[in-house]
Each structure stands twice: as structure tokens, then as C-alpha cells.
Amino acid sequence: MIAIASDHAGVALKTDICRLLQSLDIEVEDLGPQDTSSVDYPDYAHLLARAVSDGRIGTGILICGTGIGMSMAANRHPGVRAALCHDAYTAEMARRHNDANILCIGARAIGGGVAEQIVQVFAETPFEGDRHQRRVSKIEREES
């Protein structure tokens, strides 16, 4: 299960990504918004990040114009490791080495095809653990 949310700039891409995830047999919970009326990205970032932080959702995707605002807001929550990714390589490393649990992407910064590659790699890449777990644990220690 992957939860997904956006602001008004990311609604169209969010719709496409929901279809992609469903085609990969991944259940998707769309947290909104459902149309392109102007909204404030922190509201949706906090909604999804709270669900990840408290364990209701394991993985999430946030989309805004650049992905920057969403990543900044999401990373304010304990246990959230939101990664702003611009290509498949950064998505893979965010999962493999950093155990990122929220993917942030910019609808105005990358094309739809690249976004779909990023999402698929993020969804299919496992955390490597081992020496990387030690490093992730150090991130979490600083949160408390």
C-alpha cells in the first residue's frame, strides 16, 4: 500500500501515478486533492507524513510543483525520511541506502515519463540494510 497526495500543481501527475501503481498491483490510497483548485502544499504533506510517522501507512508519495516544499514539510515528522528525487538513480539510492519512506517529486520539474520511472523504481527497490541501517539509525537519533 502506498499513500499519495499532492497540491494543485501535482493533481494531473498524481492521477497518472495512481494508474501506474494500480497496473503494478500496488494498492493506492489517494489523500487528495481531487481537483486543481489552489491548495496549500503543507496541508497535504503533513496529512501523509503523519500517517507514515504513526505507522498507518508504510510508504508515501508527495507531489507539488518542485517537490521541495513537500519534502521540507514531510521531514518535520518523526520517522519520516522524505526524499526529493529527480531521476531513477536518486530514487533507487533513496530506498536502497536511506530507507526513504516518502518519495517527493516535482510535477513542474520533471516529465511524466521520468516521474513514472522514478515511482516504479522507488516502489520496487528494497532497503539494503547492513551498514546503511547504522546510518539511518543516526538520523533517527537526532530527531528525538
- The catalytic residues are 64, 97
Q: Which of 63, 53, 57, 129 is nearest to 96 (CA)?
A: 129
3-state percent helix, strand, coil for the chain, nearest multiple of 5: 50, 15, 35
Three-state SS at 2: strand
Specify the DSSP element, H or E, that contains 62: strand 59-64
Residues in a beta bridge with 102: 60, 82
